Structure 1
């Protein structure tokens, strides 16, 4: 039985550890990018919500300043 115990890692082991390291770094960059995009999206949604609420408030003020609409009378059906 010959057990191979060397102090130096094999080329395949080195390549595997490099791939794992690169994948971990790329994953961390992807997660940071996703978080950044998510923060930008939330910021834009808040901006649009404020604009919508301001427009709705302005529309409500305009409707309140206008006179109440007069209900229309129903037209009678003409007998045939």
Structure 2
């Protein structure tokens, strides 16, 4: 068995290190992308929640301003 004593890495080792570096960079970009999308989703959810709550308040105010409907008279069933 002969051990290499040269300080220069082999082409395979250089390629492996390059692939690992690229994979790490892509991983960081992917995580940042996921976090950015999560922030956008939370902002949109907050916007929609505000719209829904404003609509519910407006609907409640409208319901209070309208006169209550007259109760319906009960009808008797005719015996057969």
TM over 0.5: same fold? yes
Q: Which runs of 4+ in 1 moved over 6 A?
A: none
1:4-36 Cα deviation digits (max 9, x unpaired): 232000101000000000001111111111111
Where structure 2 has 5 or more consecutive residues not aligned to the other structure, the ranges are none
Tell me the TM-score normalized by structure 2.
0.91
Structure 1: give runs of 5+ residues left out of the alignment.
none
Between Structure 1 and Structure 2, how many residues are aligned?
A: 80
Over the aligned positions, Cα root-mean-square deviation in angstroms equals 1.1
Q: TM-score, normalised by structure 1?
A: 0.91
Question: In the TM superposition, what are the counterparts of 1:1-80 in structure 2 within 5 Å?
Answer: 1-80=1-80
